[in-house]
Amino acid sequence: MSEISYSYIVEYIRALHTPPASSVLLEIEKKIAHEIEHWPIIKPEVADFMKVLLSLVKPSQILEIGTAVGYSSILMSDCLDKNGHITTIERFPHMADQAKANIKNAKLQDKITLLEGDAVQLLPTLNDESYDVIFMDCAKGQYIHFLPECKRLLKNGGLLITDNVLHKGTVARSRYLIDRRQRTTHSRLREFLWTITHTPDFTSSVIPIGDGIALSYKTGGNMND
Protein backbone atom coordinates (compact mmCIF):
# COMPACT_ATOMS: atom_id res chain seq x y z
CA MET A 1 0.00 0.00 0.00
CA SER A 2 1.18 3.49 -0.81
CA GLU A 3 2.86 5.51 1.92
CA ILE A 4 2.17 8.73 0.08
CA SER A 5 -1.42 9.10 1.18
CA TYR A 6 -3.52 7.61 3.97
CA SER A 7 -4.19 3.99 3.04
CA TYR A 8 -7.93 4.26 3.75
CA ILE A 9 -8.16 7.11 1.22
CA VAL A 10 -6.16 5.16 -1.38
CA GLU A 11 -8.36 2.10 -0.86
CA TYR A 12 -11.48 4.22 -1.24
CA ILE A 13 -10.26 5.85 -4.47
CA ARG A 14 -9.15 2.47 -5.86
CA ALA A 15 -12.62 1.08 -5.22
CA LEU A 16 -13.96 3.80 -7.54
CA HIS A 17 -11.73 2.63 -10.41
CA THR A 18 -13.89 1.27 -13.22
CA PRO A 19 -12.67 -2.00 -14.77
CA PRO A 20 -11.30 -1.28 -18.26
CA ALA A 21 -13.29 -2.19 -21.36
CA SER A 22 -10.21 -3.82 -22.94
CA SER A 23 -10.06 -7.54 -22.04
CA VAL A 24 -6.25 -7.41 -22.20
CA LEU A 25 -6.09 -4.60 -19.63
CA LEU A 26 -8.70 -6.31 -17.48
CA GLU A 27 -6.70 -9.54 -17.47
CA ILE A 28 -3.52 -7.68 -16.40
CA GLU A 29 -5.42 -5.87 -13.61
CA LYS A 30 -6.93 -9.14 -12.38
CA LYS A 31 -3.59 -10.94 -12.26
CA ILE A 32 -2.12 -8.09 -10.21
CA ALA A 33 -5.15 -7.81 -7.89
CA HIS A 34 -4.97 -11.55 -7.18
CA GLU A 35 -1.18 -11.35 -6.79
CA ILE A 36 -0.67 -13.93 -9.54
CA GLU A 37 1.79 -11.49 -11.13
CA HIS A 38 3.73 -8.56 -9.69
CA TRP A 39 4.22 -6.43 -12.79
CA PRO A 40 5.24 -2.87 -11.87
CA ILE A 41 2.40 -1.12 -13.73
CA ILE A 42 0.80 2.23 -12.92
CA LYS A 43 -1.61 2.23 -9.98
CA PRO A 44 -5.38 2.32 -10.74
CA GLU A 45 -5.72 5.94 -9.54
CA VAL A 46 -2.81 6.95 -11.79
CA ALA A 47 -4.42 5.11 -14.73
CA ASP A 48 -7.64 7.09 -14.21
CA PHE A 49 -5.73 10.35 -13.88
CA MET A 50 -3.73 9.66 -17.08
CA LYS A 51 -6.91 8.95 -19.00
CA VAL A 52 -8.40 12.32 -18.05
CA LEU A 53 -5.15 14.13 -18.78
CA LEU A 54 -4.62 12.47 -22.17
CA SER A 55 -8.25 12.96 -23.15
CA LEU A 56 -7.62 16.70 -22.71
CA VAL A 57 -4.32 16.68 -24.61
CA LYS A 58 -5.46 14.31 -27.43
CA PRO A 59 -1.84 13.57 -28.36
CA SER A 60 -0.95 12.30 -31.80
CA GLN A 61 2.55 11.11 -30.86
CA ILE A 62 3.38 9.55 -27.49
CA LEU A 63 6.76 8.24 -26.36
CA GLU A 64 6.88 5.87 -23.41
CA ILE A 65 10.14 4.93 -21.66
CA GLY A 66 9.48 1.65 -19.81
CA THR A 67 6.82 -0.61 -21.36
CA ALA A 68 6.80 -3.57 -18.93
CA VAL A 69 3.93 -5.73 -20.23
CA GLY A 70 2.29 -2.92 -22.19
CA TYR A 71 -0.46 -1.98 -19.72
CA SER A 72 0.05 1.81 -19.83
CA SER A 73 0.68 1.78 -23.60
CA ILE A 74 -2.59 0.00 -24.26
CA LEU A 75 -4.38 2.30 -21.81
CA MET A 76 -2.96 5.45 -23.45
CA SER A 77 -3.77 4.23 -26.97
CA ASP A 78 -7.44 4.88 -26.22
CA CYS A 79 -6.78 8.61 -25.84
CA LEU A 80 -4.75 9.14 -29.04
CA ASP A 81 -5.92 11.57 -31.66
CA LYS A 82 -7.01 9.80 -34.83
CA ASN A 83 -3.98 8.35 -36.68
CA GLY A 84 -2.03 8.85 -33.47
CA HIS A 85 0.86 6.61 -32.51
CA ILE A 86 2.76 5.37 -29.48
CA THR A 87 6.45 4.45 -29.43
CA THR A 88 7.43 2.53 -26.32
CA ILE A 89 10.85 1.37 -25.12
CA GLU A 90 11.64 -1.75 -23.08
CA ARG A 91 15.08 -3.22 -22.34
CA PHE A 92 14.12 -6.41 -20.50
CA PRO A 93 13.36 -9.14 -23.12
CA HIS A 94 11.06 -11.08 -20.77
CA MET A 95 8.85 -7.98 -20.39
CA ALA A 96 9.11 -7.01 -24.08
CA ASP A 97 7.88 -10.46 -25.16
CA GLN A 98 4.82 -10.21 -22.92
CA ALA A 99 4.16 -6.66 -24.10
CA LYS A 100 4.29 -7.79 -27.75
CA ALA A 101 1.78 -10.56 -27.05
CA ASN A 102 -0.55 -8.17 -25.20
CA ILE A 103 -0.34 -5.52 -27.93
CA LYS A 104 -1.12 -8.18 -30.53
CA ASN A 105 -4.06 -9.56 -28.52
CA ALA A 106 -5.42 -6.03 -28.17
CA LYS A 107 -5.01 -5.64 -31.99
CA LEU A 108 -2.93 -2.51 -31.50
CA GLN A 109 0.17 -3.44 -33.56
CA ASP A 110 -0.54 -0.50 -35.91
CA LYS A 111 -0.84 2.02 -33.08
CA ILE A 112 1.94 0.89 -30.75
CA THR A 113 5.57 0.34 -31.79
CA LEU A 114 7.75 -1.42 -29.27
CA LEU A 115 11.45 -0.60 -29.45
CA GLU A 116 13.47 -3.29 -27.70
CA GLY A 117 16.63 -2.09 -26.05
CA ASP A 118 18.00 0.35 -23.53
CA ALA A 119 16.66 3.89 -23.59
CA VAL A 120 20.25 5.09 -23.10
CA GLN A 121 21.00 3.91 -26.65
CA LEU A 122 17.54 4.35 -28.19
CA LEU A 123 16.56 7.88 -27.11
CA PRO A 124 19.41 9.51 -29.12
CA THR A 125 18.10 7.78 -32.28
CA LEU A 126 14.70 9.54 -32.08
CA ASN A 127 13.98 12.84 -33.80
CA ASP A 128 13.79 16.28 -32.15
CA GLU A 129 10.41 17.69 -31.15
CA SER A 130 8.46 14.64 -32.28
CA TYR A 131 6.24 13.96 -29.30
CA ASP A 132 3.21 15.61 -27.71
CA VAL A 133 3.51 13.46 -24.60
CA ILE A 134 6.39 11.52 -23.06
CA PHE A 135 5.59 9.06 -20.30
CA MET A 136 8.80 8.30 -18.40
CA ASP A 137 8.39 5.18 -16.25
CA CYS A 138 11.77 3.41 -16.19
CA ALA A 139 14.68 3.16 -13.73
CA LYS A 140 14.17 6.10 -11.35
CA GLY A 141 17.88 6.83 -11.03
CA GLN A 142 18.00 7.53 -14.80
CA TYR A 143 15.30 10.23 -14.89
CA ILE A 144 17.77 13.06 -14.34
CA HIS A 145 20.01 11.72 -17.14
CA PHE A 146 17.08 11.29 -19.56
CA LEU A 147 15.69 14.77 -18.89
CA PRO A 148 17.76 16.55 -21.60
CA GLU A 149 16.61 13.91 -24.12
CA CYS A 150 12.98 14.32 -23.03
CA LYS A 151 13.32 18.07 -23.49
CA ARG A 152 14.81 17.60 -26.97
CA LEU A 153 12.17 15.06 -28.05
CA LEU A 154 9.10 16.94 -26.79
CA LYS A 155 7.32 19.47 -28.95
CA ASN A 156 6.89 22.93 -27.45
CA GLY A 157 3.72 22.76 -25.43
CA GLY A 158 4.23 19.03 -24.96
CA LEU A 159 3.84 17.22 -21.68
CA LEU A 160 6.30 15.05 -19.78
CA ILE A 161 4.62 12.72 -17.29
CA THR A 162 7.04 10.95 -14.93
CA ASP A 163 5.95 8.08 -12.68
CA ASN A 164 7.23 6.90 -9.28
CA VAL A 165 8.89 10.22 -8.47
CA LEU A 166 8.16 10.00 -4.73
CA HIS A 167 9.47 6.43 -4.43
CA LYS A 168 7.01 5.29 -1.74
CA GLY A 169 7.39 8.66 -0.04
CA THR A 170 11.10 8.15 0.70
CA VAL A 171 12.06 11.13 -1.47
CA ALA A 172 10.49 13.48 1.06
CA ARG A 173 12.59 12.05 3.91
CA SER A 174 16.05 13.20 4.95
CA ARG A 175 18.81 11.26 3.18
CA TYR A 176 20.17 10.24 6.60
CA LEU A 177 16.98 8.24 7.24
CA ILE A 178 17.34 6.42 3.91
CA ASP A 179 18.93 3.00 3.64
CA ARG A 180 22.48 3.44 2.33
CA ARG A 181 21.73 1.37 -0.82
CA GLN A 182 18.84 3.69 -1.71
CA ARG A 183 20.75 6.94 -1.26
CA THR A 184 21.86 7.29 -4.88
CA THR A 185 18.28 6.91 -6.15
CA HIS A 186 17.09 9.30 -3.42
CA SER A 187 19.54 12.03 -4.41
CA ARG A 188 18.98 11.53 -8.17
CA LEU A 189 15.20 11.73 -7.78
CA ARG A 190 15.57 14.87 -5.65
CA GLU A 191 17.85 16.37 -8.29
CA PHE A 192 15.31 15.47 -11.00
CA LEU A 193 12.39 17.02 -9.09
CA TRP A 194 14.40 20.13 -8.19
CA THR A 195 15.47 20.56 -11.83
CA ILE A 196 12.01 20.22 -13.41
CA THR A 197 10.57 22.66 -10.88
CA HIS A 198 13.37 25.24 -11.27
CA THR A 199 14.09 25.34 -15.00
CA PRO A 200 12.46 27.84 -17.35
CA ASP A 201 12.09 24.96 -19.86
CA PHE A 202 9.28 23.36 -17.91
CA THR A 203 6.29 24.27 -15.77
CA SER A 204 5.97 21.37 -13.34
CA SER A 205 3.73 19.97 -10.66
CA VAL A 206 4.38 17.01 -8.36
CA ILE A 207 1.28 15.03 -7.49
CA PRO A 208 1.10 12.55 -4.59
CA ILE A 209 -1.02 9.83 -6.15
CA GLY A 210 0.11 6.27 -6.85
CA ASP A 211 3.87 6.32 -6.24
CA GLY A 212 4.01 10.03 -7.04
CA ILE A 213 3.86 11.49 -10.53
CA ALA A 214 5.35 14.67 -11.96
CA LEU A 215 3.73 16.67 -14.73
CA SER A 216 6.03 18.93 -16.71
CA TYR A 217 4.72 21.16 -19.46
CA LYS A 218 7.40 22.16 -21.98
CA THR A 219 7.15 25.91 -22.30
CA GLY A 220 8.17 27.92 -25.32
CA GLY A 221 5.26 27.71 -27.70
CA ASN A 222 1.91 26.27 -28.60
CA MET A 223 1.53 22.55 -29.29
CA ASN A 224 -0.03 23.32 -32.67
CA ASP A 225 2.59 25.73 -33.99
- Rule CB under 6 A: which residues touch ligand SAH? 40-42, 66, 68, 71-72, 89-92, 95, 118-120, 137-139, 142
User: CA separation (Å) from 117 to 87, 93, 114?
Assistant: 13, 8, 9
> At residue 83, what is the residue type?
N
Q: Which is nearer to ligand SAH, 95 or 112 (CB)?
A: 95
Strands (E), 142-187: 154-163
61 lies in the site for Mg ion, by CB under 5 A: no
Q: CA 179: distance to chain centroid?
A: 25
Task: State the binding partner of 126 from Mg ion, ligand SAH, none, CB within 5 to 8 A by kind.
Answer: none
Task: State the binding partner of 132 from ligand SAH, Mg ion, none, CB within 5 to 8 A by kind.
Answer: none
Which residue's C-beta sits nearest to ligand SAH?
A: 66
CB of 221 to ligand SAH, least distance (A): 28
Q: Which is nearer to Mg ion, 6 or 39 (CB)?
A: 39
Task: State the binding partner of 53 from ligand SAH, Mg ion, none, CB within 5 to 8 A by kind.
Answer: none
163 lies in the site for Mg ion, by CB under 5 A: yes
Q: Give me Rg for the CA atoms of the chain.
A: 17
Q: How many CB atoms lie within 10 A of CB 75?
A: 21
Instruction: Please classify residue 224 by burial: count the beta carbons closer than 10 Å to its beta carbon, then call 0-12 exposed, 13-18 middle and 19+ buried.
Output: exposed
- Residue 213 DSSP SS3: strand
Task: State the binding partner of 149 from Mg ion, ligand SAH, none, CB within 5 to 8 A by kind.
Answer: none
Helices (H), 172-213: 183-198
Q: What share of the chain is helix, strand, coil (3-state, %, to 5)?
A: 45, 20, 35
Size of the site for Mg ion (CB under 5 A): 3
137 lies in the site for Mg ion, by CB under 5 A: yes
CB of 69 to ligand SAH, least distance (A): 7
> At residue 173, what is the residue type?
R
What spatial distance separates the first Cα and last Cα of the chain, rounded to whole Å? 43
> At residue 136, what is the residue type?
M
Q: Which is nearer to ligand SAH, 57 or 76 (CB)?
A: 76
Q: Which is nearer to Mg ion, 48 or 163 (CB)?
A: 163
Q: Which is nearer to Mg ion, 48 or 201 (CB)?
A: 48
164 lies in the site for Mg ion, by CB under 5 A: yes
Task: State the binding partner of 164 from Mg ion, ligand SAH, none, CB within 5 to 8 A by kind.
Answer: Mg ion
Binding site for Mg ion (CB under 5 A): 137, 163-164
